[in-house]
Every structure is written in C-alpha cells, then in structure tokens.
Amino acid sequence: MSKRQDPPVRPADDGGGRRARTVSRLWSRALATAAGTFVFGCLYFFVRQSVKEGVWYFDLTLVNKALGTTSLVMIALSMALTGIAFFAGRGSRLLTFRRHHGLVGFWIGLAHGAVNHLVLPATGLRPEEKAETLPADATGLAALVIFGFLAIISLAEVKGFIGGQAWRRILRYGGYAGLVLATAHAALLKWGSWENFVRTFDPAMPSLSLPAALIAAAAVLLRLAMALAMRRRARG
C-alpha cells in the first residue's frame, strides 16, 4: 500500500518579490518613456534641420538637443503627475511614477550637460553660443544641483530621518524650483527662436524646446490649480 505524499511546502511570500517586480515595472516604464521621447527628438531635430537649412545631416549636436528636451519633458511629467492624479481621481497609482520619471530626467540632464561641455568640444563640434550662454549655463547648473540634491533626499532612509512632512515639502518646492530653472535655461537659449516662430511660423517646425517648455509651464500651472482647489475644499 503506497503512502500518501503531502504536497510540497512553498515558502511564504513576504511581499519582497512582488515589490521588486513593481519597482522594476516603474523603472521600465520611465526608461521606455524617456527612450521614446529621445528617439522622437532625434528624428524631429533631424527633419527640422533639413527644413530650416535645406541640408540633411545628423551629428552629436542634434543628439545633445534631444537629450536636453527629453530631460525637461521627463522632469515636467514627473511634476505634473501630482496634479493629474488629483484632478483625475486616480489616487496613488499615478503618484508611484513620479520618482522614477524624475530620476531618469535628472540622469539625462546630467548626460546633456556632459555632452554639451565635454563631448562636443572634444569632437570639434560647437554647442549653441549666444549672448545668453552664461546665464543659461548658470540656470542649467543650478537646476542640476537642485535635482541632484532631491535625488538623494528621495531615498527612503532620508525620509525616515527628516520626517515625512518635511520630506514631502522639500521635494515639492525643490522640484518646482528646479523645473522653473530648467525651463529658464531652455528659454534663455531659445527665446529668439520661439519668438520668431510665433511671429513668422518660419521655419514651419518650431524648436522642440518650445513644446517641452509649454509642458513644464503646464505642470506648474496644474500645481497652482491643485493648491487652489485644495484650499477651496478646506474652506468647505
């Protein structure tokens, strides 16, 4: 007579594996969004160069422009998700994407700065040089410093050290300050191009930094609208 075999005992799932998979998905989506934005930016600047100058060519200067645009878009999306979640009633689901989109945007911003100031000069290519280059570099550097600080602050260990309320306040105000500086960096470099497009629509394709800056401005306005809505709710 054969003995009855008990089913194998499975180790209890402590949630660690599930959490790791969730974090992996968040990173994957942020990286996929950044990759799609970057590829679109490269193609857009490539075509725009032909429309603007009548010549088809692709070099690292276009890659650098796509990096800068992608960084601004990713950080703006990260900041806009708070207001979108609030008004769309999606709760914490959308909020989980903020940190990963913001960090990816920061890393791409670092790459943009490195390519602009190190790689392009080393290869004999010249980044855009205008009278506003120095203040543009200053605002860009200030934005990177702020976002680098926020990247450290975003760690869970730091949150436990400084307290949740102060942690959220630092990330909120620091994030919007950095976003404003990053947008100012783009505006100082490209304001003439933006103004020319609005007046003449020539060339037919605007610099991609213009819609990127509009996305950033929308993120700030969305946050202001959210603050007003919360104040009205508090007053009843």
Query: Domain residue spans in the chain?
Result: 22-235
Whole-model pTM above 0.85? yes
* Calpha distance 215→219 (Å, rounded): 6
pLDDT at 31: 98
For residues 69 and 37, is the Cβ–Cβ distance under 8 A? Answer: yes
CATH class of 22-235: mainly alpha
Q: List pLDDT tens digits, range 4-63.
A: 555 555 555 556 788 889 999 999 999 999 999 999 999 999 999 999 999 999 999 999
Q: What is the overall mean pLDDT for the chain?
A: 91
89 pLDDT tier (thresholds 50, 70, 90): confident
pLDDT at 65 exceeding the cut of 70: yes
pLDDT at 1: 47
pLDDT at 133: 80
